[in-house]
Homo-oligomer: A and B are copies of this chain.
Amino acid sequence: MQKRSLETRSRILSTSLDLFSALGYEKTGVSLICERSSVSKGSFYHQFPSKHAVFTTLLAQWLGDLDRQFDLDFSSASDVPSGILAMTGEFGRIMMLSRPYLPLFLEFWLQSIRNPEIWQQTIAPYQNYVDRFAKIFRQGVAEGSIQPVDPDDASLALIALALGLLLQNMMIPEGRDWPSVSENVISLYLNGIKGVSNA
């Protein structure tokens, strides 16, 4: 792969990201992608076998970014509740930064229901996250910083909160300070399951 090739590839990917988010996958035509990224149609199909391949490439990129971000955040945590709460700050920041692309995330979600390949690609990492949080909560229960709750349920609840906040943020972009709202909401939840010793 030559340098020039990589450039056109990334140009196609970035404008596709914008267009898919703004118009939706179906309504975004290949011709428009080419036009907006100053790439000929022939070149497009030289780089990608299909429009859908662009979509899955973007999905893989998104998942990779997410994974790297999580690994980064996990590294520096002492006590479980405070660790998760610290992560919440990051969450709010990421939420605002990636707000323009949330509709695309929803579209990923939607497609994974109907497309088995996309499903496997998206659902494996998701399961991963559930397990990871469950493990953290289990540890929290063991160290007494968390009340004896079911770790799986606690993990599902945390993820549900995050997803629900994302959805609501997507709908009502203005009028609320979402980072602080999400911090309040998650600490509301955490305070409830926090161990009495550390309260």
Contacts and interface: CB of A to CB of B under 8 A. Distances in A.
Interface in A144-175: 149-150, 153-154, 156-157, 159-165, 167-168, 170-172
Interface footprint category on A: 35 or more
A29 interface: no
A162 B159 contact: no
Interface stretch (A46-54, A68-76, A180-188): A180-188
B109 A185 contact: no
Nearest to A111: B24
A13 interface: no
B171 A165 contact: no
Nearest to A27: B26
Contacts of A154: 188
Contacts of A122: 171
Contact of A110 (B106, B156, B162): B106
B112 A103 contact: no
A23 to B, nearest CB: 7
A196 to B, nearest CB: 11
A106 B107 CA distance: 9
Contacts of A161: 157, 160-161, 164
Contact of A171 (B109, B162, B172, B193): B109
A30 interface: no
A45 interface: no
Contact of A193 (B153, B167, B188): B188
Residue of A110, A149, A164, A191 most packed against chain B (CB within 10 A): A164
